């Protein structure tokens, strides 16, 4: 089927842009987060389309005074991939790889946002991530990550918050490929295996620089990892390692220490100290009713909230982004910044002494 996107010179195969192969779980997602210097105001945005499900969904999370407000939207895609508006939420690409705009106008729930993300550094393509369940591909995705500053305004129940670029920074990513979306698989691989996923993702902003690191571990602790630092140029780091401590009785990280080095041997250390958590289910991740790619109707929306004093530590609340103070140390020189430590830790992980699906640190 021809769509508006076919008038742009972006084809890579001799088929219309609306066709993405036979994989039902193909997705194409925007993600953003933003925070002020104190970290007490935080917002996050996700908008995703699923061409082979013909669905688009999106969500906006706003944390204010210890409460996480979740605004959720879903509609039929109609195969038009350039129409990036769902419900009250819209993403506009003002200048590719440099400037994007997030618009929200939920009159029913008295929430409005007009936010522009301006890049601080170039967008970086992370290594492709592929995981399998037996011989079947479970995840296969590419992601780019970028750090930036925000400007604009938020209006929450009549209270206006001016978002100034010298105060508000954040990160964005674009990812696309294959992930489990929509309805659960009716016939998973046999014999059944307990799920295992150990994921840490940590983009951070400092006054004159930025950093990023991620770890995807198997149950033995073997890592697929990547890290870079951005100053005047982007420098990919090597020999990345981590040391983490957990809050007793949880799988929440209380402190993390990442170490790496530049090609010239210069040592880099990142000390991550989480302040509080944003539950990613507010953006649809692992949510039982408003999960990614679930059909909700032709054009539907929903609002709910979480009191952040309560932390269930169980599905669907396992997946979090911890708003964190981050100290970057290079050759004995320390700078302090802010960022997030995303955590999704399910199943066995020998270095953490996790021996079951959901057991917790002592």
Reported as a single tens digit per residue, the pLDDT across 290-301 is 999 999 999 999
Measured CA distances, 244 to 209, 259, 280, 343, 348 (Å): 24, 12, 21, 12, 16
360 part of a folded domain: no
Which of the four pLDDT bands, split at 50, 70 and 90, describes residue 286?
A: very high
Measured in residues, the chain has a length of 362
Band of residue 186 on the pLDDT scale cut at 50, 70, 90 = confident
- Residue 236 maps to a domain: yes
Containing domain of residue 207, as a range? 4-182+194-352
Torsion of CA 212, 340, 61, 178, to 10 degrees: 40
Q: Do the domain assignments include residue 290?
A: yes
CB 27 within 8 Å of CB 50: yes
Furthest C-alpha separation in the chain: 59
Residue 314 within any structural domain of the chain? yes
Q: Could you tell me the CA-to-CA distances from 101 to 172, 238, 327, 360 in Å, in that order?
A: 12, 34, 29, 40
pLDDT of 118 above 90 = yes
SS (H, E, C) 93-151: EEECCCEEEEEEEEHHHCEEEEEEEEECCCCEECCCEEEEECCEEEEEEEEEEEEEEEE
> CATH code at 348?
2.40.370.10
Answer yes or no: is 357 within a domain.
no
**Domains: count for the chain:** 1
Comparing 16-25, 93-102, 108-117, 188-197, which segment has the lowest mean pLDDT? 188-197
361 assigned to some structural domain? no
Quick check: is 362 in a domain? Answer: no
Residue 108 lies in a domain: yes
Both structure tokens of 77: 């895609």
**For the whole model, what pTM was predicted?**
0.96
């Amino acid at each position: 089927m021809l769509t508006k996107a076919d008038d742009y010179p972006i084809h890579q195969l001799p088929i219309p842009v609306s066709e993405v192969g036979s994989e039902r779980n193909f997705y194409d997602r925007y993600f953003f987060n933003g925070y002020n210097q104190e970290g007490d105001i935080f917002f996050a945005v996700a908008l995703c389309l699923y061409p082979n499900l013909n669905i688009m969904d999106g969500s906006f999370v706003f944390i204010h005074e210890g409460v996480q407000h979740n605004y959720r939207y879903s509609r039929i895609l109609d195969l038009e991939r350039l129409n990036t508006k769902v419900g009250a939420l819209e993403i506009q690409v003002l200048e590719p790889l440099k400037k994007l705009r997030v618009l929200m106008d939920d009159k029913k729930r008295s929430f409005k946002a007009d936010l522009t993300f301006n890049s601080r550094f170039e967008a970086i393509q992370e290594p492709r991530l592929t995981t399998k369940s037996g011989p079947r591909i479970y995840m296969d995705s590419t992601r780019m990550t970028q750090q930036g500053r925000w400007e604009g305004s938020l209006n929450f129940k009549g209270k206006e918050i001016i978002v100034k670029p010298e105060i508000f920074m954040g990160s964005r990513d674009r990812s696309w490929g294959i992930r489990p979306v929509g309805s659960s698989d009716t016939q998973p691989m046999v014999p059944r295996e307990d799920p295992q996923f150990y994921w840490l993702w940590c983009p951070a902003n400092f006054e004159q620089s930025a950093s990023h690191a991620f770890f995807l571990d198997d149950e033995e602790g073997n890592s697929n990892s990547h890290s870079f630092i951005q100053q005047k140029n982007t420098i990919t780091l090597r020999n990345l390692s981590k040391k983490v401590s957990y809050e007793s009785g949880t799988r929440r990280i209380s402190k993390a220490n990442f170490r790496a080095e530049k090609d010239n041997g210069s040592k880099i250390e990142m000390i991550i100290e989480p302040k509080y958590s944003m539950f990613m289910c507010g953006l649809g991740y692992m949510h039982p009713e408003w999960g990614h790619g679930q059909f909700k109707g032709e054009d539907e929306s929903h609002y709910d909230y979480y009191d952040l004093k309560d932390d269930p530590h169980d599905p669907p609340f396992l997946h979090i982004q911890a708003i964190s103070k981050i100290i970057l140390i290079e050759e004995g020189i320390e700078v302090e910044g802010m960022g997030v430590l995303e955590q999704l830790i399910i199943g066995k992980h020998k270095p953490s002494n996790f021996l079951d699906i959901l057991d917790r640190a002592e």
